[in-house]
Structure 1
Amino acid sequence: MRPTRRQTFALGVVHALTAVTANAADRCPQASTMEDYPPVVSLRVDNDLFANQDEGYTSGVMLSMVSPNLRDFVDDPCLPGPARWLNTYLARLQPEGFDQQNMVVSIAQGIFTPSNPQPTNLIEDDRPYAGALLVSFGYNARKADRLRTTQLTLGMVGPASLAESSQDFIHRLTGSQEFQGWDHQIHNEPVLNLVHEQSLRSPVVAVAGPLEFDAISHWGGALGNLLTQVNGGFELRLGKRLPDDFGSSPVRPAGNNTAPPVDARHTRGWAWHGFLAADVRLVLRDITLDGNTFRSSHRVDKEPWVAEAALGVALTRGRTKFAFARYFRTREFEGQDRFPAYGSFTVSRAF
C-alpha cells in the first residue's frame, strides 16, 4: 500500500532530523563538545486515553532536535547551514551574556475535541473541534542555575492542520469510535506565537543513600494569536543521579533535556527519579477555545485562571531517556463536564 501524503511528509521530517543529528559530529570541529554535550532527538506523545478520557486536548505528538552547546547561533558549525541562515533573521530572540546556549527545533501537532463524538451537528456548549500543526524554534541559555528560554512558533490551525485525518488514523488503530463533528472545526488561520520563560534550579540535596532532591521554579508567558497567557509554577524531583537540566515535565518549553547541561548528557548505568510539577496561568486568549481571530467560528467562554499538576517518572540509561507523566487540569471553559486529564510519554536519545 502506497503511503499517503501526510505519512510521506512525516517520514521526511523524521529522516531530515535524524540525518542532521547523525552528521552533526562531522560538521562540528569541537570534538569535546560533541562528546560531552551531544545533540538529542526526542519524540513526545500526549493522549487522554492514558487518563481514560477522549475529549479536550485529546492527542498530541512532537518531534524535537536539541543542538549541542553552541558558541553562537549564526557561525557555529555545530548547527546545520539552514539553521544558521534562519538565525541571522531571529537575532532579537537570541540570548546574550550567558555561559551556555543551545537551539531546539520542533514540529508538533495537537488535536482538540468536544466530549461527545457522535453528533454531526454543532455542539454549542462544548469546546470547538480544533487542530494545530506547528513548527517551533527555541533558544535556551544557561548561567549556573538559571535558564532563559525563548521560543518562536509558526503554523496553522483548522483543516490545514490535518487533525481530522490524524485522529481518524489513530482511532482506527486503537479501535476507538471516530468523531463525527469535524465539519464544525475552527477555520484555517496561520498562527504566530512567542513564548518566554525563566527558570531557577535549587542546589541538589543528598537525602539518603543515593537519593537526591532538587526544586525548579519557573515563570513566563506567551504572546500571539495561538495562545496569550502569563504563568508560573514549580517542579520537585527525587531520585538517583538527577539530570543536569531544568525539569522533567515534557510539556514545558524548557523541560525534558532541552536545557544546555553543565555535565554530560549521558551517564553510565541507570538513573531514575520521580517528579511532581505544578503550573498556574492566566489565559487571555486560547484559539482552541476562543475560536478564529479574524472571522466568526465556534467558541466557548473560557475560564481565565487554569491550574495544572503533573506526576511522573523518568528513567535514563546511557544516552537514552524515558519519561511518563499524568496531567490533571482545572476546567478550561464554563460548563465543562469534568476536569481534563491526559498522559504524556517521551523518549529521548543523545547521538
Structure 2
Amino acid sequence: MIHAKSARDLAMALVLLVCFSQVAAFDTIQQTDNRYRFVLTNDNDSLALLSTDRLYTNGIRLTMTHNSANQAPIWLQTLGQWLPWFPSHQPTRHAYTIGQSMFTPEDMSQSEFLPDDRLYAGWLYVTTDLSSINDNKFDIFSLTLGIVGPDSQAEASQKGIHQLIGAEDPKGWNNQLDNAVGFNLAYQRSWRVFKVQRNHHSLFDLTPYVSGALGSIYRYAGTGINLRFGPNLMDEYGLPKFQFGLPITNLLALSRSKHFNWYGFSGIEVRYVEHNYFLKGNSALTRQSQIQPNPWIGQFQVGVVFDWSRFSLTLNQMLQTKEYTTQTQAHNIGTLSFSIKY
C-alpha cells in the first residue's frame, strides 16, 4: 500500500483518467452507433433475507459496459496482450466501474477499539475490465485502483444514510483503517460445459470457473460453478459476481430482446484467501487486532434477472462463511441492480 498525504489527489487523478477514457470511447460509440449499458448496483445488508447492519454492509457502483468489439483503450488492450493466458486475436470488450464499499465491525454501538472484531474501513475505487468470449469460453481481466481510509468518504456516506432512514448511528468510525492507495489485478476464466435446449431455446446451463487476484487489497485463488434456468436464456456470461468489495464486472450481452424475458441463477464458490487488507491492514490499530482471518471462504448465491428491451433488473442474495475466527455468524447481503441499454 502507498501511504501519503497526496493519496486523495492520486485517487482523483485515477478517476479522471478513467472518465477521460470513457468520454473518448463514448464518442466512438456515437459515431459507429454501437450499443452500451449503464448498470447501477447496490449491495446492502438491509436487502438481505437475514437483515443485519455489519461487516460488508454496503457497496454502490456504477458500471459502463461497451458492446463495441476491440474499442478498449490501447493501454488496456496492450495490458491484456501481456497476459500469456488471455486469448489473443479474439474480439475484446471492456467496461469501467466507479464504486464505494464500506465495512464495519459486528458491534457498531461501541466507540472504543474492539480488538476481537474487524475495523471500520471504506474503499473508493475505479475498475476497468477487458473480456473475451471464444466459443464456450469466457475470460475477463480487471484492474482496480482506489483509496482505503477516511478519504474514501465511507464514514460520511454511512452516517448520512443512517440519519436519513433513522437507523443506529455507527459510533466507532474513529477506529478505521488509515488512508492508503491500493490496487488489485483479478482474472477469471469460465467454461459453459452443459446446456439444455428445446426448439433452439436454451433452458438450462452450467458454467464452472476458476478465478484469482493479486495486489495490495486481496490475494486469493478460487473456483466455483454457476447455473442458470429460464424459458429462453440469453447467450451471455453476465451472472453477478461477488467479491465483497472487489468487483469483477462480468460483461453482459447487450442483446435487445423484443419481449420480456427472465431467468433464475444460483452459484457456489470456494476460495483460498492469502491476504485481505480490510482485515489485516497495516495501520497501528490492525497491529493490535487479535482477529485471525479464515483462509478458506465459501460463498453461495441465488437470484433472478428480469430483462426488457431497454432495461433489466437483478435481485441477488449472497451468503458467505465467516471471514475471521471470532466472527459470530455467516454473513448475508442482498443486491439490487438496475441497467439501461442503448
For 1:296, give the aligned amino acid. Answer: A
Extract structure 1 runs of 4+ deviating beyond 3 A: 12-25, 83-91, 93-96, 207-211, 252-256
Letter in 2 for 1:241: N
- Residue number among 176, 185, 197 corresponding to 1:185 in the alignment: 176
User: What's the offset of the Cα at 1:27?
Assistant: 3.0
1:43 lines up with 2:34 in the alignment: no
Q: Could you tell me how far 1:178 is from its partner in structure 2?
A: 1.4
Aligned equivalents of 1:266, 1:17: Cα separation in 2: 26
Query: Residue 285 in 1 paired to residue 275 in 2?
Result: yes
**Does the 8 Å contact 1:306/1:332 carry over to 2?**
yes
1:228 aligns with 2:225: no
Query: What is the identity, as a one-letter code, of the residue corresponding to 1:297?
Result: L
1:81-160, aligned counterparts within 5 Å?
Answer: 83-84=73-74, 92=82, 95-160=86-151
Output aligned runs, 1:13-52, within 5 Å.
23-28=27-32, 31=33, 34=34, 38-51=35-48, 52=51
For the 8 Å contact 1:17–1:65, the answer to whether it is kept is: no
- Three-state SS of the structure 2 residue aligned to 1:311 is strand
Q: Contact 2:261 / 2:307 at 8 angstroms: preserved in 1?
A: yes
* Length-normalised TM-score, structure 2: 0.85
Q: What TM-score do you get using the length of structure 1 for normalisation?
A: 0.83
SS in 2 for 1:269: coil
Instruction: Determine the C-alpha separation between the residues in 1 that align with 2:166 and 2:200.
Output: 47
Q: Which of 302, 326, 334 is the aligned partner of 1:343?
A: 334
Q: In the superposition, relative to structure 1, how do residues 117 and 215 fare at CA in structure 2: closer, same or farther (>3 Å)?
A: same
User: Are the equivalent residues in 2 in contact too, given 1:283–1:305 (CA < 8 A)?
Assistant: yes
SS at 1:172's partner residue? helix
Letter of the 2:175 counterpart:
H
* Partner deviation per Cα, 1:148-185 (whole Å, 9 max, x = no partner): 11111111111111110111122122211110101110
Q: Is contact 2:129–2:248 with CA below 8 Å preserved after alignment?
A: no
Amino acid corresponding to residue 130 of structure 2 in structure 1: Y
Aligned length: 319
Q: Which residue of 2 aligns with 1:53?
A: 52
Q: Which residue of 2 aligns with 1:315?
A: 306
- The reply to whether residue 69 of structure 1 matches residue 72 of structure 2 is no
Equivalents in 1 of 2:21, 2:331: separation in Å? Answer: 32
What percentage of aligned pairs have identical amino acids? 28
In 2, Cα distance between equivalents of 1:89 and 1:146: 20
The whole-number CA distance in structure 2 between the counterparts of 1:222 and 1:188 is: 22
| Match status 1:169 vs 2:160 | yes
Following superposition, the deviation at residue 245 of structure 1 comes to 1.3
Q: Where does structure 2 lack aligned partners over 5 or more consecutive residues?
A: 1-11
Matches of residues 262-277 of structure 1 in structure 2 within 5 Å?
Answer: 265-277=255-267
Distance change in 2, residues 1:20/1:302 (3 Å): same
Distance in 2 (CA, whole Å) between partners of 1:228 and 1:254 is 14
Contact (CA 8 Å) 1:207, 1:213: kept in 2 or not? Answer: no
Q: Tell me what 1:5 maps to.
A: none
Aligned alpha-carbon RMSD (Å): 2.8
Task: Tell me the CA shift for residue 265 of structure 1.
Answer: 1.8
Q: Is the 8 A contact 1:98 1:143 kept in 2?
A: no
